Structure 1
Amino acid sequence: MTEIREFRVAVDEADVDELLLRLARTRWTDQVPGAGSRYGDDVADVRAVARYWAEDFDWRAVEARLNSFPQFLTEVDGTGVHFLHVRSDNPRALPLLLLHGWPGSVVEFLDVVGHLRDEFHLVVPSLPGFGFSGPTRDTGWHSGRMARAFAELMARLGYARYGVHGNDAGSVIGLEVGRIDPGHVAGVHVTQIFSVPGGDPAELEGLTPEEHRRLGVLRHFQESLSGFAQLQRARPQNVAFALADSPAGQLAWTMQLMGEPAVSRDFLLANVAIYWFTGTAGSSARLYYEDAHREDTPAGPTTFPLGVAIFRDDFQTIRRFAERDHHNIVHWSEFGTGGHYSGHDSPELLAGDIKVFFAKM
Structure 2
Amino acid sequence: MPDAQPRPEPFIQQTAPEALEDLRSRLRATRWPDTPEDAGWSLGTDLDYLRELVTYWAESFDWPAQEAALATLPRFRVPLSGPGIHFVHARATAPAGPALPLVLSHGWPDSFWRYSKVIPLLTDPGAHGADPADAFDVVVPDLPGFGYSDRPVGPPLDSISVAGLWAELMTVLGYERFGAAGGDLGSHVSRCLGLDHPERIVAVHRTDAGLPVFAGDPEDLAPEERAWIEGVGVWGATEGAYAAIQRTKPQTAAFGLNDSPAGLAAWIVEKLRAWSDCDGDIERSFTKDEILTNVTLYWLTGTIGSSMRMYRANGAIPPAQLARRVEVPSGFSLFAGDVVRPPRAWLERTTNMVRVTEPARGGHFAPFEEPELYAEELRDFFRPYRTAATA
- Do 2:222 and 2:345's aligned partners in 1 also have CA atoms closer than 8 Å? no
1:304-334 CA distance string (max 9 Å, x none): 01110011101212211122211x1111111
1:187-231 CA distance string (max 9 Å, x none): 1111001254859377453x49xx97x779745531222111000
Report the alpha carbon displacement of residue 344 of structure 1 after superposing the two structures with TM: 1.3
Report the alpha carbon displacement of residue 56 of structure 1 after superposing the two structures with TM: 2.3
Matches within 5 A, 1:28-107: 28-88=32-92, 89-90=94-95, 91-107=97-113
- Do 1:197 and 1:203's aligned partners in 2 also have CA atoms closer than 8 Å? no
How far apart in 1 are the matches of 2:364 and 2:286? 9
Which residue among 290, 293, 302 is the counterpart of 1:279?
302
Asked if 1:245 is matched to 2:245, the reply is no
User: In the alignment, which residue of structure 1 is the partner of 2:292?
Assistant: 269
User: In the alignment, which residue of structure 1 is the partner of 2:203?
Assistant: 187
How far apart in 2 are the matches of 1:150 and 1:137? 19
How far apart in 1 are the matches of 2:338 and 2:287? 16
1:244-278 CA distance string (max 9 Å, x none): 10000110010121131443322221111001000
How far apart in 2 are the matches of 1:347 and 1:299? 31
Which residue among 222, 225, 248 is the counterpart of 1:234?
248
2:169 counterpart SS class: helix
Report the alpha carbon displacement of residue 99 of structure 1 after superposing the two structures with TM: 0.7
Q: Residue 343 of structure 2 aligns to which amino acid in structure 1?
A: I
Q: Residue 15 of structure 2 aligns to which amino acid in structure 1?
A: V
How far apart in 2 are the matches of 1:30 and 1:153? 48
- Do 1:189 and 1:357's aligned partners in 2 also have CA atoms closer than 8 Å? yes
Report which stretch shifted further, 337-346 or 149-158: 337-346
1:144-190 CA distance string (max 9 Å, x none): 11110010000011101111110111001111011221111111111
1:275 counterpart SS class: helix
1:37-76 CA distance string (max 9 Å, x none): 2221121121111112112222112211111011100111
1:329 counterpart SS class: strand
How far apart in 2 are the matches of 1:299 and 1:223? 22
Q: Residue 200 of structure 1 aligns to which amino acid in structure 2?
A: P
User: In the alignment, which residue of structure 2 is the partner of 1:321?
Assistant: 346
User: In the alignment, which residue of structure 2 is the partner of 1:339?
Assistant: 363
1:257 counterpart SS class: helix
TM-score normalised to structure 1 length: 0.93
- Do 1:236 and 1:282's aligned partners in 2 also have CA atoms closer than 8 Å? yes
- Do 2:109 and 2:268's aligned partners in 1 also have CA atoms closer than 8 Å? yes
- Do 2:332 and 2:356's aligned partners in 1 also have CA atoms closer than 8 Å? yes
Task: Give the paired residue count.
Answer: 356
- Do 2:323 and 2:350's aligned partners in 1 also have CA atoms closer than 8 Å? no
Quote the sequence identity (%): 35
- Do 2:108 and 2:185's aligned partners in 1 also have CA atoms closer than 8 Å? yes
**Unaligned segments of structure 1, at least 5 residues:** none
CA distance 1:144–1:197, shift in 2 (3 Å)? closer
Q: Residue 187 of structure 1 aligns to which amino acid in structure 2?
A: A
User: In the alignment, which residue of structure 2 is the partner of 1:26?
Assistant: 30
How far apart in 1 are the matches of 2:120 and 2:324? 37
User: In the alignment, which residue of structure 1 is the partner of 2:279?
Assistant: none
1:98-122 CA distance string (max 9 Å, x none): 1110001111111111210031001
How far apart in 2 are the matches of 1:360 and 1:231? 42
2:327 counterpart SS class: coil
Matches within 5 A, 1:99-178: 99-118=105-124, 119-178=135-194
Q: Residue 274 of structure 1 aligns to which amino acid in structure 2?
A: L
Let me know the Cα RMSD of the aligned residues.
2.1
TM-score normalised to structure 2 length: 0.86
Q: Residue 232 of structure 1 aligns to which amino acid in structure 2?
A: Q
CA distance 1:68–1:159, shift in 2 (3 Å)? same
Q: Residue 102 of structure 1 aligns to which amino acid in structure 2?
A: W
